[in-house]
Amino acid sequence: MTDVAGHPPLTGRHRHPLAQLTLVRYLEFVREPEAVFWVFIFPVLLAAGLGIAFRSRPSERTAIAIPRSIPHAEHVAEALRRDDRLAVRVLDDSVATQALRIGDVALMLATGSGNKIEYRYDDRRPESRTARLIVDDALQRAAGRSDPIPVSDRHVSEPGSRYIDFVVPGLLGMNLMGSGIWGIGFAIVDARRKRLLKRLIATPMSRSQYLASFVLSRLTWLVLEVGLLLGFAVLVFGVPVRGSLLELTVICLLSALSFASIGLLLASRARTVEGVSGLMNLVMLPMWILSGVFFSSSRFPDVIQPLIRALPLTAVINALRATMLQGAPFQGVALELAIITVWLVVSFPLALRMFRWK
C-alpha cells in the first residue's frame, strides 16, 4: 500500500444523491429478470389470452340435438339446417339427453304429449332461450308461417363494446396498482430487513430523497409499462383510445403516484417480507375482485357500491374506461381523479410519519 493509495486526494460534491438513488432503483429492477417479466410481459400475455378467449366470433352457431326417435327426425333436421344460426345434430336418444345435460347442446327436441313437438332446455341459460326462439321460428317458417310485418337486419360490431375493450383498461389499472405496491413494498422491507436502511440513515442522505427515489423510478417505468400494454392492445386488438393522450397520461401518473404512496404506507413498518406480502395481498385482493378489472363492479349489491367507488383501483379503472372507450373529457372523470388524489395526499404523509428506518 502506497501513501498515495492510503491518503487519496479529496474532491467535492460528487453526483446528485437523488440521481444516484434513482439510478440504483433502476439497476436493482433491471437485474431482477422475474420482476421485469411480471411487470412488463405478464400483463401483455394476459391481455392476449383474454382477447383471444373472448374474441367475438362472427356467426357462432347454436348447437341443438334431434333424437332419432322423434317422427320424421331427418326431415325436421333438414328444415332446421337451412337456418345458418343453428348447428343441428341428429343423435341417439340417450346421447342427445346426455349432450343436453352437460351443456354440449343448448336445446333438444322431443315428442311431447299429444304428439306435439317439445323443446327441452334450461330456462336459465340465455343461449338455450335464444335457441328456443330460433328453432321455433325456423320450424314455423318451414311449415309455411308468414310474417305480417316486413323486417330486415343490419349487423354492427364496433370497437369499444367488445370484452377486450372492457378488460384492457382493467388490466392497465391492475398493473398500475400491482407494480406500485409490490415494487415499492418488497424493496423497502428487504432493505429494512438487511439493515441497509439503518446504514443509509447513518449517512447524510436525505430521507425524503430516499423515498422520492422509489416514486421517481416508478414514474420512469410507468411509461414503458403502460406504453407496452396499451400499444399491444391498440395494434393487435384495435382497442380504442378516444380521449386525449394528455388526459390518459395524467390519469396514469396520478394513479402511479397514489399506488406508490400506498405501497410506501404498507411497507412503512413491516420487518419481514412475509409480513408485508400478507398486508399487500389483504389490500389488493378485495380490489382485484370488487373494482371491476374483469367484470363490471355493478354486479355487486347496491349497498356496497359507494364503498367500491371509493376504492383507488375502482376510480383508476373507471377513469381509464371513460377516457379510452367513451372519450370523456377531464370534467367527466373529475370525481375519479379526486378520489385518486385523496388516496395520494392521505397515504404519503402518513407513510412518512409512520416509517420505521431501523
Partner 1 sequence: MSEPGAAALSVRGLRKAYKDVVAVDGLDLEVRPGECFGLLGPNGAGKTTTVEICEGLTSADSGDVVVLGRRWGRDDRELRQLLGISLQETQFSEKLTVLETVRLFRSFYARGPEPEAVIRMVQLDEKSSGRVGQLSGGQKQRLALACALVGAPELLFLDEPTTGLDPQSRRQLWELIDEFRAAGRSILLTTHYMEEAERLCDRVAVMDHGKVIALGTPRELIASLEAEHVLEFAVGEGAAVDAATLRAIEGVCSAARRDGTWQLQVTELHRAMPALLAELRREGAQLTELRTHSPTLEDVFVSLTGRHLRDD
Q: Specify the stretch interacting with partner 1 by CB under 8 A; choose among 57-65, 193-201, 278-286, 335-343.
A: 193-201
Q: Specify the stretch interacting with partner 1 by CB under 8 A; choose among 133-141, 191-199, 268-276, 296-304.
A: 191-199
Grid coordinates standing for 313?
383501483
Residue 342 CB, shortest distance to partner 1, in Å, is 34
Looking only at residues 204 through 233 of this chain, which bind partner 1 when binding is defined by CB under 8 A? 204-205
| Distance, first Cα to last Cα, the chain | 36
Q: Is residue 28 a contact point for partner 1 (CB under 8 A)?
A: yes
Asked whether 291 and 299 are in contact (CB, 8 A), the reply is no
Among 82, 145, 199, 356, binds partner 1 (CB under 8 A): 199
Q: Specify the stretch interacting with partner 1 by CB under 8 A; choose among 4-12, 55-63, 176-184, 224-232.
A: 4-12
The DSSP output letter for 144 is: T
Asked whether 139 and 109 are in contact (CB, 8 A), the reply is no
Taking the mean position of all CA atoms in its chain, how far away is CA 135?
37
Q: Is residue 11 a contact point for partner 1 (CB under 8 A)?
A: yes
* Angstrom distance (rounded) from CA 164 to CA 239: 7
For residue 178, which phi and psi values (nearest 5 degrees)?
Answer: -60, -50
| E strand or H helix at 107 | strand 107-111
CA-closest candidate to residue 248, choices 167, 342, 321, 314 = 321
* Angstrom distance (rounded) from CA 207 to CA 42: 33
**Cβ partners under 8 Å of residue 211, min gap 6:** 264, 351, 352, 355
Q: Is residue 101 a contact point for partner 1 (CB under 8 A)?
A: no
Residue 213 CB, shortest distance to partner 1, in Å, is 10
Taking the mean position of all CA atoms in its chain, how far away is CA 316?
11
Q: Is residue 34 a contact point for partner 1 (CB under 8 A)?
A: no
Nearer to partner 1, 205 or 219 (CB): 205
Nearer to partner 1, 14 or 154 (CB): 14
Query: Hunting for cell 356496497 — which residue is that?
Result: 304
Nearer to partner 1, 18 or 44 (CB): 18
Give the interface size with partner 1 as a residue count (CB under 8 A).
35
Residue 353 CB, shortest distance to partner 1, in Å, is 18
Nearer to partner 1, 27 or 223 (CB): 27
Nearer to partner 1, 3 or 158 (CB): 3
For residue 56, which phi and psi values (nearest 5 degrees)?
Answer: -80, 115
Nearer to partner 1, 61 or 207 (CB): 207
* Angstrom distance (rounded) from CA 127 to CA 150: 26
Among 9, 126, 144, 301, binds partner 1 (CB under 8 A): 9
Among 195, 242, 271, 356, binds partner 1 (CB under 8 A): 195
Looking only at residues 309 through 328 of this chain, which bind partner 1 when binding is defined by CB under 8 A? none
For residue 147, which phi and psi values (nearest 5 degrees)?
Answer: -90, 130
Nearer to partner 1, 10 or 303 (CB): 10
Q: Specify the stretch interacting with partner 1 by CB under 8 A; choose among 17-25, 43-51, 245-253, 300-308.
A: 17-25
* Angstrom distance (rounded) from CA 26 to CA 356: 23
Nearer to partner 1, 18 or 79 (CB): 18
Nearer to partner 1, 179 or 318 (CB): 179
Q: Is residue 125 a contact point for partner 1 (CB under 8 A)?
A: no
CA-closest candidate to residue 168, choices 228, 221, 258, 224 = 228
Q: Which residues bind partner 1 (CB under 8 A)?
A: 1, 5-17, 19-21, 23-24, 27-28, 31-32, 191, 194-196, 198-199, 201-205, 358
